[in-house]
Chains A and B, each alone.
Chain A
Amino acid sequence: MTIESFEPTMLLAILPEILLLVLIGFVLALDAVWKPEQRRALGWLTAGGLALIMVLALAVSRPSEDPRLVWGGMLRHDWFGFAFKMLFLFGAAITALFAMDAEELGKRGEFYVLMLVSTLGMNLMASASDLIMLYLAIETTSIPLYVLSGFMRHDDHSTEAGFKYMLFGAAASAVMLYGLTLLYGFAGDTSFYSLGLAMHNAELPLLPIVGSLVLILVGFAFKISAVPLHFWAPDVYEGAPTPVAGFLSTASKAAGFAVLLRVLLSIFTPVALPSWTGLLAVVAVMTMTLGNALALFQKNIKRLLAYSSIAHAGYILIGIVAISRLAVTGVVFYLIAYLITNLAAFGIVATFWRVVGSDQIADYAGMSRRKPWLAMAMLVAFLSLAGMPPLAGFVAKVFVFAAAVQADYIWLAVVGVLNSIVGLYYYLTVLKVVYLYRSEETEGLPLPISRPSAIALTVLTLGILLVGTLFGPWFSLAEQVAKAVLRNY
């Protein structure tokens, strides 16, 4: 694969990014012009704009079967990047809908702008094919997220979350940057694919390269909240505004997995394969087990979802350890399923918080009597997280575990299924509160759902059912993504 010199078609490769910038401009301008009470409509504009970008991108900037390195080798225009971009845009649009009626969030243009900038960064992360581009993209994603986590200035928890996230994030990022510089120092190149070629031809010293990989993995593990770099997640999710926490645990995590996959597969496979699969297998086991074990004791639903999302990172890592066509397909499929499911879960929590003002699981008592539809959406989302058919989470788990069995990691699959039993237990505990317990004082009170949240929840719930039953098209998409990234494996 050669690096092409500039030609106008390259603009198509970054069409989603260009359109995102245009949208950011619109939001900024209207934020300045509109009166404060009109600014809620910026949410409609953001969500609608993102949907339009998805449609346009799908119409004209779909990559071909043959990946191209564009913009001086900084980006790679392939199905892998493209599919992840669509995932991020979708996640951002849904988050905008959930945020519209959230206090201190929905009526402020900065919120939407920061979220869109972060989405722009994620888009670049997914297609970055150069160490420098990778680092810039990760920082473009992270810095707005730090601000968003601390967005509610009058709330100590939120400020604390923002600050904590920034400190830990900056530290992890520094370690990763150190790893990236070491890699450059030993290899003298920054392009993933030239690095991969050099590795393949055994031109590089293996040991220092693996050392730098470990440092790079620190940064990635932080993004996907894998043990031992998971500790920020519960505090940040708890303190951050709920829609932001949902965005963090889905789109941002998916972006982390995207770069993890691409870096591992383009540079460190197959030559350095044995050196990282063992490490990641250990990380996967610890991540699943710790996440699930600690989720058991949570009283706050956002902390519970934080630990559950740590556990899910562990399941996904199983697929990365098993590394094969089926495994990468399974990972991508899992990310699609997980993104819609977890967005729904956080969206429900946000909707509930807006009315009730509590994140305590005990306060969910009697919810099914107050709002049967919201309870039903919660049932769907939580059972999908638990991996029950006919919902998206079941098929995703089967594919990942199947990949592990295929690659003779039967023990890892067994650890995975044992963990999913623990998971089922605490998801059911929450559903028990929702469906079984009653609460005398709140029973008759209304639990209104705002229109944007209702739209978003309907889309997500139907999406969970759709991915879980008619999984053919999604699987084909995931397979195409896997093919694009496994091409030189």
Chain B
Amino acid sequence: MQFPVLSVIVLSPIIAGLLILLIPANRKTEIRMAALAAATLAMLLSAWVYFSYDVQQGGYQFIEHYTWLRQMGISYIVAVDGMNAPLVLLTGVVMFTGVLISWGLDDRPREFFAFLFILASGVFGVFVAQDLFMLFFFYEIAVFPMYLLISIWGWVQTREYAAMKLTLYLFIGSVVALIGGLAMYFEAGMVSFSMWDLARAGFSTEFQIFWFPFVFLGFAVLGGIFPFHNWSPDGHVAAPTAVSMFHAGVLMKLGAFAALRVGIMLLPEGAQFWKIGIMALALVNVVYGAFIAMVQTDFKYVIGFSSVSHMGLVMLGFSTLTPEGLTGAGLQMFSHGVMTALFFAVVGMVYDRAHTREINALGGFSKKMPWVAVAFIVGGLVSMGMPGLSGFVAEFPIFMGVWRVRPLVAIVAAISIVITASYIIRIIGRVFFGKMPEEFEHHIGDVTALDKLALVLLCAIMITIGVYPAIMAPMVSSGVESILRLLGGA
């Protein structure tokens, strides 16, 4: 039997979290070291899975299959394919950098890392789950630690409101999807929650058309789809840095991925029927999100709304149901995850030192923190879709796919690139260049070596994919092929 690497990736964070709880609360250094060790392990293992996935062979690999509850046909099935392997890697990277960034956290770090790791286990679990029940199980595990993480360690002014809003939105979405999932299970009548079985169930067209909106939108709430995106900027802003990174970087992909995995892949005819509706919603996300981001004066809200806009591109890619669009969406999930984690890390670093996020009150930070400024510029270029960086590799196929289906939508969506450029350039100009206000001159220092390590790692990933797309694109395409087979060669 091969080494159960995926199970180790899924379960090691939660076990590490529980072990961390056993360390006495005042031994903060030991707690941080333990957290870093666990995060390093998860990242290395996820990288190992990513690089040893055999793209030539394709399909599902690293399969583990155990019966969980025979009578109901609930199994514990984990596997990776071209679609979720990059997302597993993304989670590992964000988890590792999140721990680095949170090194200075001083209020109950033990509980913080424990909850963060429970969240990480939930996220890993959803990405690799091939059983519908298991997917819901881990999905909920990923939702509830958010509440505690935001409300306890978040930004004092909005944390209670934002945490409750986020949790309730996501919970509503997931239970609506759960009812849809149960309906699929009974309609299939196979006494199996395995998504591989459900994909073969042959649901009637009416059934698919009826249930698709519930399942897709239920999950897409977490992906930030319009008009259910409202929780996300508030949640991002209120969350502590590492949680914002996790949240925008990984959790929103969780929603989009689950909407793809359960909605589009299990109810393909429903997806065909509703694709124009999804495309319309996603288009609103892309354009409206970008416009709202442009008028924000709070640094973190700009990034929060830019996430809404960029996640719209993922949904837009899904809605094309074409190879280009889906491949682009898969790449965008990874690229945006890394990029937005970097953005939130930068915002956190600036805020920790300046204690304000008002863009107009900041300035000249490139002199004090050159590394941060460079990292933000790299991230900004990715966000504008500059060739040679991962954003271009992801967004170009999406626009190609949209162009093939609805050229007008592609043109309208492309407006967002211009707007994105405007707000990113504004931030770079105002925050990092220009003159530094008097009050910051003396007490602002550079970031720590751990922070720099996190920034370098995130930038390196974006540049590598931009320069050498072959490291990821073929893998995602191979994942897309199996989705297209389900869609019946559409």
A residues apposed to B, CB below 8 Å: 326, 368-369, 372, 376, 379, 383, 388-390, 394, 398-399, 401-402, 405-406, 410, 413-414, 417-418, 420-421, 424-425, 428, 431-432, 435-436, 471-472, 475-476, 479
Q: Complex: how many Å from CA A420 to CA B167?
A: 13
* Selected A-B contacts with CB under 8 Å, 17 pairs: A376-B21, A383-B144, A388-B144, A389-B141, A402-B182, A405-B182, A405-B183, A413-B182, A418-B175, A420-B175, A421-B168, A421-B175, A424-B168, A425-B164, A425-B168, A435-B152, A436-B160
Is residue B185 contacting chain A, with contact meaning CB distance below 8 A? yes
Q: Complex: how many Å from CA A394 to CA B68?
A: 15
Check A424 against B167 for contact (C-beta < 8 Å).
Answer: yes
* Chain A residue at minimal CB-CB distance from B184: A405
Q: Complex: how many Å from CA A479 to CA B70?
A: 12
Check A405 against B179 for contact (C-beta < 8 Å).
Answer: yes
* Chain A residue at minimal CB-CB distance from B176: A417
Q: Complex: how many Å from CA A425 to CA B160?
A: 12
- Return chain A residues, CB-CB under 8 Å to B140: 388-389, 394
- Return chain B residues, CB-CB under 8 Å to A376: 21
Is residue B111 contacting chain A, with contact meaning CB distance below 8 A? yes
Check B25 against A372 for contact (C-beta < 8 Å).
Answer: yes
- Return chain A residues, CB-CB under 8 Å to B246: none
- Return chain B residues, CB-CB under 8 Å to A424: 167-168, 171
For window 51-99 of chain B, which residues contact chain A by CB distance below 8 Å? Answer: 68-72
Q: Complex: how many Å from CA A351 to CA B185?
A: 43
- Return chain B residues, CB-CB under 8 Å to A472: 68-70
Give chain B nearest CB distance to A406 CB in angstroms: 5
Q: 4 extra interchain contacts, Cβ-Cβ under 8 A, other than A421-B171, A431-B147, A435-B152? A: A388-B140, A390-B141, A405-B186, A475-B72
- Return chain B residues, CB-CB under 8 Å to A428: 147, 164, 167
Is residue B402 contacting chain A, with contact meaning CB distance below 8 A? no
For window 106-135 of chain B, which residues contact chain A by CB distance below 8 Å? Answer: 108, 110-111, 133
Check A410 against B144 for contact (C-beta < 8 Å).
Answer: no
Check A436 against B179 for contact (C-beta < 8 Å).
Answer: no
Give chain A nearest CB distance to B273 CB in angstroms: 20
- Return chain A residues, CB-CB under 8 Å to B411: none
- Return chain B residues, CB-CB under 8 Å to A326: 72
* Chain B residue at minimal CB-CB distance from A431: B148
Interface size band for B: 35 or more
Give chain B nearest CB distance to A211 CB in angstroms: 35
- Return chain B residues, CB-CB under 8 Å to A379: 148
Q: Complex: how many Å from CA A13 to CA B156?
A: 61
* Chain B residue at minimal CB-CB distance from A376: B21
Is residue B178 contacting chain A, with contact meaning CB distance below 8 A? yes
B residues apposed to A, CB below 8 Å: 21, 25, 68-72, 108, 110-111, 133, 136-138, 140-141, 143-144, 147-148, 151-152, 160, 164, 167-168, 171-172, 175-176, 178-179, 182-183, 185-186
Give chain B nearest CB distance to A422 CB in angstroms: 9
Q: Are A432 and B69 also in contact (CB < 8 A) when A414-B179, A421-B175 are?
A: no
Q: Complex: how many Å from CA A413 to CA B178?
A: 10
- Return chain A residues, CB-CB under 8 Å to B164: 425, 428
Q: Complex: how many Å from CA A426 to CA B21?
A: 26
Check A417 against B175 for contact (C-beta < 8 Å).
Answer: yes
Check B133 against A398 for contact (C-beta < 8 Å).
Answer: yes
Q: Which 4 residue pairs of A and B lie closest in terms of their CB atoms, listed nearest first?
A: A417-B175, A405-B182, A389-B137, A389-B140
Check A435 against B137 for contact (C-beta < 8 Å).
Answer: no
Check B137 against A394 for contact (C-beta < 8 Å).
Answer: yes
Q: Complex: how many Å from CA A433 to CA B141?
A: 21
* Chain B residue at minimal CB-CB distance from A423: B171
Check A436 against B151 for contact (C-beta < 8 Å).
Answer: yes
Check A372 against B69 for contact (C-beta < 8 Å).
Answer: no
- Return chain A residues, CB-CB under 8 Å to B25: 372
* Chain B residue at minimal CB-CB distance from A422: B168
Give chain B nearest CB distance to A258 CB in angstroms: 22
- Return chain A residues, CB-CB under 8 Å to B167: 424, 428
* Chain B residue at minimal CB-CB distance from A402: B182
Q: Complex: how many Å from CA A394 to CA B133?
A: 11
* Chain B residue at minimal CB-CB distance from A329: B71
Check B176 against A372 for contact (C-beta < 8 Å).
Answer: no
Specify which of B21, B137, B176 lies most central, judged by the most chain A CB atoms within 10 Å of its CB: B137
Q: Complex: how many Å from CA A420 to CA B176?
A: 12
Q: Complex: how many Å from CA A471 to CA B70?
A: 11
- Return chain A residues, CB-CB under 8 Å to B183: 405, 410
Check A435 against B148 for contact (C-beta < 8 Å).
Answer: yes
Give chain B nearest CB distance to A373 CB in angstroms: 9
Q: Complex: how many Å from CA A326 to CA B71?
A: 10
- Return chain A residues, CB-CB under 8 Å to B138: 389
Q: Complex: how many Å from CA A413 to CA B133?
A: 17
* Chain A residue at minimal CB-CB distance from B214: A414
- Return chain A residues, CB-CB under 8 Å to B186: 402, 405-406
Check A476 against B71 for contact (C-beta < 8 Å).
Answer: yes
Q: Complex: how many Å from CA A194 to CA B171?
A: 48
Give chain A nearest CB distance to B70 CB in angstroms: 7
- Return chain A residues, CB-CB under 8 Å to B171: 421, 424
Partner of A372, one of B111, B141, B175, B178: B111
Give chain A nearest CB distance to B192 CB in angstroms: 13
Check A471 against B69 for contact (C-beta < 8 Å).
Answer: yes
Q: Complex: how many Å from CA A401 to CA B180?
A: 11
Check B168 against A401 for contact (C-beta < 8 Å).
Answer: no
- Return chain A residues, CB-CB under 8 Å to B175: 417-418, 420-421
Check B71 against A475 for contact (C-beta < 8 Å).
Answer: yes
Check A475 against B144 for contact (C-beta < 8 Å).
Answer: no
Check A479 against B71 for contact (C-beta < 8 Å).
Answer: yes
- Return chain B residues, CB-CB under 8 Å to A390: 137, 141
Give chain A nearest CB distance to B123 CB in angstroms: 14
